[in-house]
Amino acid sequence: MALVTAELSTAFPENGTQLSCSRWFALFQFIYGLCKGGFTVWVHHAFGPFWAFQEGLWFWLSGVIDAALYPSLAVTCVSKFIPELDALSATETWMAKAAMASLFALPNLLGIQLVGRGMMLLSMVVTLPFVVFSMAGFSNAASDWTVLTQVRHADTPWNATAFVESSGQEIAIQWKLLLTTVFWNCNGFANVSTFAGEVADPGKAYPRALLLTLLALELSYLVPLSAGVVFNRPPWWSWTEISFSDLAHSLGGNGLLSLMTIATLASNWGQFTSEMFCVSFQLTGMAESGLAPSIFAARAAASDVPYVSVAVSHSLVLLLIQFDLDDVMTTANAISAMYQVLLLAAAVKLRVSMPHVHRPYRVPGSIHVLIALTVLPLCVASYLIYSPLEDILNSPGTSASNFVVPVVLVAGGAYAYALNVPSKEFGNSKDATAEESQRLA
């Protein structure tokens, strides 16, 4: 995905894209110019305004659904300090999540500069406690390091006194949950490649940057997780989404627990704020390009904040926070996979239909190599799209997937079918794009 988006972002002179909004990306001051083009422009050149609208809609909606996860995670984290939160009714729990979401959304109402600087600060607040945790975990390993090779077993109840697991049978890997979780944690990796227009010599800079990013991503997961596994109190097979807090308390008492709680809250806040920032400006960019109702183009005079887009995005978050975390994650992944499939298809189509456009960065090899590189991500994305649709058929109910995915497909298709966006209003024509690209070569 990173290679494909790098090629497209350098091939078309339209500056920027919605996907420049990665979770910890600091250069938010460029967003205004970025959100009017990018993915929707590329898909427009490849398949026309109908699919360009779908691309923009799916990206916006997947971001909003993803943002709905963080208030729930934050409330769960705080419950380690305030156990009374676990005893709240469904309505009270929703109110607590809504309050957390509203608090997290405040920076988006105060302007671009505050969000950008805040993300830089929060990234440091998140990193330092996990460094301390990892060092303490490795230095206080409570078990043989061969625990890293263990497989989870059935019938292994948590024994808080003995810190041992009972005998049992190996549990089959839950591939659906594993794939969904890994995709969600690694999704957005291609985001960094969409700033190619602002990078000197992207053909050299991007391979090196992507390699370093991949290494940093792997280390950020493997190091603290490995430290927790070898410390192993509570045992790794009993972990849940809040087990880092349990590990921190066992390892360093209330002091380390406090640091990890602060880091977790900062992470949730930062990811929610940056996600909401991106989807709000992206929706505004669609309105300014004629792909969404003009009301979403409204901005505050003083701060340039797209307040209508922020309000609509936040309202959808408040609706979604009542659903189960795994269900919301599955839905976010499915819609995210939809726009990534369309992006990959656009990359292949544009390589065929516009082969002479200058590409400062180009995926190595012929069109056949490009197609081969898309096979694996297409297979993964297709499964993630199929999974919630299968759930709808097998267990119809009130889950987020059951009502969001069909509504998106039907409403988005109907609106785009009635949409008539002249190319001159949306972006440069193919000929103009090719001429400008050659001029910049």
> Where residue 119 sits, what CATH number does that domain have?
1.20.1740.10
State both tokens at 421. 């966006």
Rounded distance between C-alpha atoms, residue 46 and residue 206, angstroms: 24
pLDDT digits (tens, 9 = 90+) for 162-217: 444 544 555 667 778 788 888 888 887 655 544 454 556 766 776 777 778 778 88
Q: Is 322 helix (H, G, I), strand (E, B) or coil?
A: coil
- Each residue of 369-403: pLDDT tens digit? 999 999 999 999 999 988 877 777 777 665 665 67
The pTM score is: 0.79
Which residues are within 8 A (CB) of 287 and not within 5 positions of it... i.e. 6 or more apart? 293, 294, 295, 296, 297, 309
Please state, in angstroms and rounded to a whole number, the distance separating the CA atoms of residues 3 and 9: 10
Query: Per-residue pLDDT tens for 19-39?
Result: 334 333 333 333 333 444 557
Six token digits for residue 165? 């697991």
Q: Coil, strand or helix: which one is 310?
A: helix
H or E element that contains 332: helix 325-353
What is the tens place of the pLDDT at every residue in 298-346? 988 877 888 999 999 999 999 999 888 888 888 889 899 998 899 899 9
Cα atoms found within 13 Å of the Cα of residue 380, Cβ hemisphere only: 22
Q: Residue 170, SS3? A: strand
Query: For residues 296 and 116, what is the distance between their CA atoms, to the nearest angstrom?
Result: 22
Helix (H/G/I), strand (E/B), else coil: 249: helix
Residues 441 and 436: their CA atoms lie apart, in Å, by: 9
Burial of 207 by CB count in 10 Å (0-12 exposed, 13-18 middle, 19+ buried)?
middle
Host domain of residue 22: 2-440
Token pair listed for 298:
């409204």
Q: Which residue reads 């090899």 in tokens? A: 365
Judged against a pLDDT cut of 70, whether residue 46 lies above it is answered with: yes
Per-residue pLDDT averaged across 153-170, rounded?
50
State the total domains in the chain: 1
